[in-house]
Structure formats: structure tokens, C-alpha cells
Amino acid sequence: MSEIFKTIARYQYTTEAQIIKGRLEAEGIEVFLKDHLTIDTDPLVSNAIGGVKLQVLAKDAMKAQHILSTINQYSLDDDGNQIECPNCGSGKVDLFSTITDFKSFFAFLIGFVSGTLPFHTRYKYKCETCKTEFTKEDIKPKKPISSQ
């Protein structure tokens, strides 16, 4: 059996693995998760057993790894769609917290207490291509209404 299935990625959490699974299946690749039931039962065991294994058929492994390499390190929204830069349309977008040190945490706290800073600005996206920073609210809806 070991030559039929190939583990191409490991994830600490099942939700993460599920998102990637959805992406690969959208490309027509059959995906199998291993050990996710164990981890869902007891998340603390995840590290001990090496996380949720994402497996594909050996014949799909190269294609799957290629897809992973293009999507894995960049941000996905809650539906597993890749987040694109509102400025240049690049998919190379990183999610980062704006609270990176004590100073920014303090600034956040002041803003939060005084009500000038909305809660969601704790997190921002940054485009690697054009270096634009944006929040979730700046992202245009993915499905434009066609006006033909």
C-alpha cells in the first residue's frame, strides 16, 4: 500500500488540511487525510503522531506538490479561496498581525480602549509583489456581477 499513497504534507490542525484538500480536489486530485480523526478527538496528540497527513495517489503526487508549492505559503480566506492583492491582483499575500512588538500592542490597546481602532485591524495582509498592505475589508468580492 505504501507505494500507492504518498504523504505530501502534514498539518497540525484538521481545518488547515481540509482547506488544502479542497484546493487539490478542485484540481481533480483525490486526497486522503490520515490521522485527522485521532487529532480531532485529542488535539494535543497532534505533534506526537506527526500531525494530519495529507495523502494523494502516487501518480498525482508531483502535480499535487506543484499546486501546494503555489498556494501553501500564502493566505487563504475562510472558504479556502486564495486572497489576492486589491492593488495588483497578485496571490502572493501574507497575513500578519499588526501587533509585532510591545509598542504596537500598546498603541493597539489605546485605540481599542478609546474606540478609535476597530478590532479587525489587528490583522493585515501584505502583498509580496507590490508591498501593498490591506485589510480584509479592502478585498473586492470575488464574483463580480456581470453587466452584459
**Contacts with Zn ion, residue ranges (CB under 5 A):** 85, 87-88, 90, 127, 129-130, 132
Q: How far is the CB of 94 from Zn ion (least distance, A)?
A: 11
Residue 76 CB, nearest approach to Zn ion (Å): 17
Q: Which residues of 110-119 are buried (b: 16+ CB within 10 A; e: fewer)?
A: eeeeeeebee
Closer by beta carbon to Zn ion, 45 or else 130: 130
Contact between 12 and 36 under an 8 Å Cβ cutoff? The reply is no
Separation between Cα atoms, residue 27 and residue 31, nearest integer Å: 11
**Closer to Zn ion at the Cβ: 11 or 125?**
125
Smallest separation (angstroms) from Zn ion to the CB of 70:
16
Residue nearer to Zn ion on the CB measure, 112 or 134:
134
Minimum CB–partner distance for residue 136 and Zn ion (Å): 15
* Shortest spacing between CB 73 and Zn ion, in angstroms: 16
Choose between 17 and 85: whose C-beta lies nearer to Zn ion. Answer: 85
Cβ nearer to Zn ion, comparing 54 with 85: 85
